[in-house]
Structure 1
Amino acid sequence: MGLRVAVVGATGNVGREMLTILEERLFPADEVVALASRRSVGVEVSYGDKTLKIKDLETYDFSGVDLVLMSAGSKVSKEWSPKIGATGAVVIDNSSAWRMDPRVPLIVPEVNPEAITGYDKLNIIANPNCSTAQLVVALKPLHDHAKIKRVVVATYQSVSGAGKDAMEELWMQTKKIYVNDEMVKEHFTKQIAFNVIPHIDDFMEDGYTKEEWKMMVETKKIMDSSIKLTATCVRVPVFVGHSEAVTVEFENPISAEEAQDILREAPGVMLIDRREDGGYITPVECVGEFATYVSRVRTDPTVDNGLSLWVVSDNLRKGAALNAVQIAELMLNKGLFKRIKAA
Structure 2
Amino acid sequence: MTTPATANPMKQLIVSLGLHVRSELLAYEARGRDRRVHGDSPGGDAQFDVDEVAERAVLDYLRAHAEVPMALYTEDGSYVELAPEPQILLVVDPIDGTRPTSAGLEMGMVSIAAAPYGDGAPTLADVDAACLVEIKSGAWLYGDDTEGLDSSGYPTAVPRLSRNTDLTRMFWSIEFNGHPMDLMTEAYGHLVDGSANTGGIFVFNSSTFSISRIITGQLDAYADIGNRVLRDHPDTEERFLRVGRGSILHLFPYDIAAAVHLARLAGVVITDAYGDDLGSTSLVDLGPMNQKSCIAAATPELHKQLLDSIRWDLGRAAAAPVVKEES
TM range (shorter): under 0.3
Normalising by structure 1, what TM-score?
0.25
Normalising by structure 2, what TM-score?
0.26
Radius of gyration: which is bigger? 1
